[in-house]
Every structure is written in C-alpha cells, then in structure tokens.
Amino acid sequence: MASRLSSLTLALLPIALAGCSRQEAPGTDNDVGDREAASGQAPDISVSVAPGVAFTYRYRYALAADRIAGVQERHAAACEALGIDKCRITGLSFQWLGKDSVRATLDLALAPDLARRFGKDAGAAVESAKGKLESMDIDGVNRAPAFQRSDADLAAARAEQDSLQAELARAGLSADARAQLRNRLAAQETQIRQARQHGDDVRTQLANTPMRLSYSTDGFLPGFSLGQAARNALEFAGMILNGLLALLIVLAVLAIPAGLVLILGAHGRRAVLTLWQRIAPGPAS
C-alpha cells in the first residue's frame, strides 16, 4: 500500500508543479504590463488592415524647440526612402512662435500595410531625440458598403445600357422612339460615369492612409542642462540687479526732498533762535 501511495505521489508531482507555474505566469505578465503602463509608452496594439476599412493616423509629439526641425526632417526622409508609390508628403508646416516655442506638422499618405510600422519608427526617432509621445489616435471608417454600392450601381447601369442598345437595334422603330432611347442611353452613360467615379474615390481612400505627425514644445519638460541652467541663473541675476537699481533710483529720488527739508529745518531753527535773541528784552537790572 505504501508503494502505491509513493507511486501516486510521484505521478501527481509534475502536474502540481505545472499548476504552480501556470499560476505564477499571470502575475509575471501583470508585472510587465504594470511596468509598461507606468512608463507612459503608447500601447503596442497591431491594427489589422481590414478589407474595406480606411484608417487615419494622428501622432502628437513633444520635443525641445531646437530638435523639432531635425526630427521632422528625419520623418520626411523616411517617407521619401519608401518611394512615391508607398509614401507621399502631402503637407508640411513649421512655426517659430518665440523663444523655446515651436509648432510643426507633417502630413503623409502611406500604403495601408506600412502605416502602423511607420508610426512606430517615427516614435522611436522622437525618443532618440529625447522627446516623447503626447497622444496617438487611429480612426477607421468602414468603406466596404460604399464600395459595394458603387459596384452595384455600376452593374445596374451597364445592364440597363445593354438593354437600351438592344432595343435601339430593333428594326421598325419610329424616329421619336429612337430619340427617346438615345436620351435614355445618354442618361445611363452619366450614371455609369458617376458610379465609376465613386468607386475610384473609394479605392483611392482605401489605397492611401493619411497620417499627421504634430510636433510641439507644449508639454515638454526638458531634463537638466548645464548651459540652460547657466542661462537661467544669469537671467535671474539680471532681474535681481535691475530690481536693486530701480530701488536705488527710487530711494535717491525720495532722499533728495527729505534732505532738503532737514537742511531747511536745521538752518531755520538757528535763524529763529538768533532773531529771538536780538529782539527779546534783556533781564531787568
């Protein structure tokens, strides 16, 4: 009996160990997730390129004023390196708003399968420049119904066109009937062009993914910089010296009238005493 219990214990030991390992795994994953959430990084979620869905990407970065232009140029160069069939620059702006204040944007049109990777690489370039990601928005619009509707409209218009052409080919039609058929054919041609144009517009939206990269010094908190600290110290010292100089000027302006009053008061007292001694009657003998 004891041997059987020992055998059963040995058989169940691997299962128990496996259960312990499975219980520890979620805690490990949670710890990693907590660390990633605490780091302020954007979630690394892969957006699948769903058929018929048009995505729009928007990234907002915060950087030091003297590094925005360089990062913007790196992003533009990365787009150009992909080729015009994969990435095109559709807009660019750069505004110097004053000392240490810059705003800039870069608008791109990317191939749908490259957009997410390009956004991650763009964020890595910002981090290498000591910047940070402020916000990320990925919006999707389902264009499949519009695409299907344009195809259905085009097929219906072409079927009606074929029917009208067959009717027009019949013999024995009057001139008025033929004129009416031609007018209806012209109307169908217009519908075909409109349906084809609508389908082309939908295809263009699905083939090009808009992306806007925004750069700003708003919300950027730079780390310690010896040069910046020295400049701030000099500016503060200059403010103190200006304040002291202004105070001395005010005190000097106030001291001049006060000194005159004191001088006049002292000399006036002497003059009054001298005059009193002259006119006052002497003591009776």
Selected residue with higher pLDDT from 177 and 116: 116
Greatest alpha-carbon span in the chain = 167
Contact 109, 88 (CB under 8 A): yes
In order of 55, 211, 233, the CA distances from 52 in angstroms are: 10, 18, 58
Please give the average per-residue pLDDT across 254-271, as a whole number. Answer: 68
Domain boundaries, the chain: 53-142+208-216, 145-205, 227-266
The arithmetic mean of pLDDT across residues 48-66, rounded, is 84
| Residue 43 confidence (pLDDT) | 57
pLDDT score of 46 more than 70:
no
Q: pLDDT digit string (tens) for 187-244?
A: 888 888 877 787 776 777 678 899 999 999 986 655 444 455 566 677 778 888 888 8
Per the prediction, the chain carries an average pLDDT of 75
Rounded distance, CA 250 to CA 238, Å?
A: 18
DSSP β-ladder status, 209-216 and 53-62 = parallel
In angstroms, rounded to a whole number, what is the distance separating the alpha carbons of residues 73 and 129?
Answer: 12
The answer on pLDDT for 25 being more than 70 is no
pLDDT at 31: 43
Q: Tell me, what's the pLDDT at 70? A: 95
DSSP assignment, residue 65? G
pLDDT at 270 over 80: no
Residue with tokens 């005493």: 273
The single-letter DSSP state of residue 170 is S
Over the stretch 91-127, which tens digit does the pLDDT of each residue have? 999 999 877 889 999 999 999 989 999 999 999 999 9
- How far is the C-alpha of 141 from the C-alpha of 143, rounded, in Å? 6
DSSP single-letter state for residue 217 = S
pLDDT of residue 228: 53
pTM confidence score: 0.53
CA R_g for the chain: 43
Architecture of 53-142+208-216 per CATH? Answer: 2-Layer Sandwich (3.30)
> CA 119 to CA 210: how far, in whole Å?
11
Q: Is the pLDDT of residue 40 over 50?
A: no
